[in-house]
Chains A and B, each alone.
Chain A
Amino acid sequence: MNIPLLYELVGVILLGMGLYSLVVYSHPVRKILALNVSGAGVFLFLVAAADRTSGPLPDPVPHAMVLTGIVVAVSATALALALACRIHQVSGTAPLTDNEPE
C-alpha cells in the first residue's frame, strides 16, 4: 500500500468519525469539535491528493485549496463558538432547545 493512499483513507475515516460525533453528541461545543475533525479529514485527503503528479514536485492546487479551507474553517468555528456562548448567556443551558416555535 502506498503512503498517499493511506493518508487518503485516514482522511475519509476522520470525516466519518466527525460526522458520527456530530449526530451523536448534543452539546454544541462537541458538535463544533466534530465538524473540525471532519474538516481535518477532508484537508488531509486533499493534501494527499497532491501526490497525483508523476514528477518529484507535488501538485500545488490542492494545497491552495487546503489553505483556503483552513481560513474558512477558522472563521466558521469562531462564529459557531460565539453563537454557543451567546446561547449559553441567553438561555442558561448549553444544549440546543428542541421545541419548534409555535
Chain B
Amino acid sequence: MSLNDILRPMNLPAWIISLPLLAAVVAVVLPRTGRWVSIFIAIITPLVVFKLCIEILVHGALQMQVGGWQAPLGIQMYADGLSAAMLAMTAIVISCSTFYARSYFSAKAASPFFWPLWMFLWAALNALFLSGDIFNLYVTLELLGLSAVALVALSQTADALSAAMRYLLVSLTGSLSYLMGVALLYAANGTLSIKMLATVGPASPSLPAAFALMAAGLIMKSALFPMHFWLPPAHANAPAPVSAVLSALVVKASFYILVRLWLMIFEPFINPSTAQLIGMLGAFAVIWGSVQALLAKRLKLLVAYSTVAQIGYLFLFFPLSSTPQTAHTAWQGGLYFVFSHACAKAAIFLAAGTVIYAFGHDRINKLHGIVRRMPVSMFAFALAGVSLIGLPPSGGFIAKWLYLNAALASGQWWWSGLIILGGLLATAYIFRFFSRAFSYFPEVVEGRPVPKIMEWTALALALCAIFLGLTAPAVTELLNAGKPF
C-alpha cells in the first residue's frame, strides 16, 4: 500500500481522529516515550488537516461511514468547509501549545497524566468537528469535557480542584440537558443524522422543547452569561497551556454545535425572538466580562474574564443572522470571531503563563517594566491585544467589520453600539496591564530565565491572529465550501 492509498480523501477524517488517540494510548502505557510521540503527532496531524482542507476546497464536503456500517447504527462522519476550518484552527492552537507545554512542564515535575489527557482532548475535539449525527456529538462533548476537567485538576491546588469540580458538574449537567434534547428529537423523527433531520418536514410539537434543552446545555458549556460563573476560576487556575486550549477551543466546540444545529435544523421552526434573547445574553456577557476584567487583580483572571466577554460576541450571531440578506455576513463574522479569538486568546494565555513561569506570580500590580525581561512575549501579548480590541488589520477587525455590516444592513443598529462599546472596554482592560508591563522601571525585575520556545510559540499564535485579517478571502472560501446553507 502506498502513502497515497493510506491518505485517500475518504480516510483523512479517520486519521485526524486516530493520530492523537494513538499518541494518547502510547502516552498512557509509556509516559516517557509518550511525550515524544505526542510532539511528533503535533507535527504530523496539522499536515493531514491541511490536506483535508485542500480536499474540501477542491471537491466539496466529504462523508464517511466508519467501518462501512450504514447509519443509523454505524457512525457517520461528515466534513464540510466549516468542520475543516475548525479542525485547522484546533491543529494550529494545539500544535503551538504542545511545543510550549514541552518546555513549561519539563522544568517542573511533570504529571504523567498530562500528555495522555492532552492528546485525548485533541482527539475529542477532532471527532466533535467531524461528527455527522447528534448522538455522536454528545459522546464527543462528554469526552471533551472529561479530559478538560482532568487537565484543570492537574494543577493540584485547592483552588484548581474546586474549580475543576464545579466545571465538571456544569459540564455534565450541560451534556445531560443536550442528551435529553437528542432523545426528544429521536423520539419524534426516528433519526440522529443532522442531514436527515435537516430535511424532515413539518415541525413536531416537541421541537421547541428539544431546542430549548439542547441550547440550554450548550450555552452552559460555552459559558455564556449568566452561566459563565464556572469559567474564570477553571481557566485561571489551570496550567498555562491548558488554559490556552480551554479558552481558545473547548468553549468554541459547544458554540459550533449550537450554530450547526441552528442553521441546519432549528432556525425555520423557532420563534425569532429566541435569537434576540440569546443576543441579549451575549450583550450582557460582553459588558459584564469586560468590567470584571477591568477589576481583576491577577493577569490570568483578567484574561479569563476577557474570554467571557468575547464569548458574548459569538452569540450575537443569532440575532444578526435573522434576516436572509445578512445571514451570510453574520455567519462569516461569527466564525471570524471564533478563529481570531482562538489564536489571540491562546497567545495571551501562553504569554501570561510565561510571566508566571518567570516570576512565580501574576499579580498585575507587581509586574512593572517586565517588557525588558520578556520582550517577545509582551510583543505577542500586544499583537493579540490588537486582535481582541478589533483594530485593523487583525482577524478581530474583520470579525467586527462583518458584524457591523450585518447589524446595519438588518436594521438592528443597537448591536453596532454594543460592538463599539465592547472594543473600548477591551482597550481599557488590555491597557491596564500594558501600562504596567511597558512602564519604565529603573531596576530590572528579578525572575528565572524563560526558554525561548515558550516566547516564540506565543508570538506565532499572535501573528496568526493578525494574518487572519490579511487572508480573509481564502478563509471565507474555505468556509463556503459545502456550506450548510
Contact = CB atoms under 8 A, between A and B. Distances in A.
Interface of A: 8, 15, 19, 22, 28, 31-32, 35, 38-39, 42, 45-46, 49, 52, 59-62, 64-65, 68-69, 72, 75-76, 79-80, 83-84, 86-87, 90-91, 96-97, 100-102
Majority-rule SS of B interface residues: helix
Contact of A101 (B73, B182, B190, B237): B237
Contact of A22 (B159, B173, B192): B173
B175 to A, nearest CB: 8
A71 B337 CA distance: 35
A39 B176 contact: yes
A101 B233 contact: yes
A83 B153 contact: yes
A61 B179 contact: no
Nearest to B292: A100
Contact of A100 (B164, B183, B232): B232
Contacts of A72: 139, 142
Closest 3 CB pairs of A and B: A49-B187, A91-B158, A72-B142
A99 B266 CA distance: 39
Contacts of A91: 158, 161-162
Contact of B168 (A8, A22, A79): A79
A35 B161 contact: no
A68 B153 CA distance: 25
A86 B72 CA distance: 41
29 contacts: A19-B173, A22-B173, A28-B165, A35-B172, A35-B173, A38-B176, A42-B179, A42-B180, A45-B187, A46-B183, A49-B186, A49-B187, A52-B190, A61-B72, A61-B73, A61-B186, A61-B192, A69-B179, A75-B146, A76-B146, A79-B146, A80-B165, A80-B168, A83-B153, A86-B153, A87-B165, A91-B158, A96-B166, A101-B237
B172 A68 contact: no
A59, A61, A75 interface centre (most CB from chain B within 10 Å): A61
Contacts of B190: 52, 59
Given A35-B176, A42-B183, A76-B142, 15 more contacts: A42-B180, A45-B183, A45-B187, A49-B186, A49-B187, A61-B186, A61-B192, A80-B172, A83-B161, A90-B157, A91-B161, A96-B166, A97-B159, A100-B232, A101-B233
B233 A79 contact: no
B186 A42 contact: no
Contacts of B156: 90
B233 A76 contact: no
A35 B169 contact: yes
B404 to A, nearest CB: 34
Given A42-B180, A45-B183, A96 B165 contact: yes
A79 B150 contact: yes
A42 B165 contact: no
Nearest to A48: B187
A27 to B, nearest CB: 12
B162 A97 contact: yes
A38, A52, A69, A96 interface centre (most CB from chain B within 10 Å): A69
B91 interface: no
A101 B172 contact: no
A32 B176 CA distance: 13
Nearest to A88: B161
Given A72-B139, A84-B165, A42 B176 contact: yes
A48 B242 CA distance: 40
A76 B161 contact: no
Nearest to A86: B161
A2 to B, nearest CB: 14
Contacts of B186: 46, 49, 61-62, 65
B135 interface: yes
B149 interface: yes
B218 interface: no
B301 interface: yes
Nearest to A65: B135
B212 to A, nearest CB: 13
A100 B176 contact: no
Nearest to A23: B173
Contacts of A64: 73
A15, A52, A68, A72 interface centre (most CB from chain B within 10 Å): A72
A81 B16 CA distance: 32
B465 interface: no
B51 interface: no
B298 interface: yes
B73 A87 contact: no
Contacts of A31: 169
A19 B237 CA distance: 27
Interface in B176-202: 176, 179-180, 182-183, 186-187, 190, 192
Contacts of B161: 83, 86-87, 90-91
A80 B164 CA distance: 9
B176 A101 contact: no
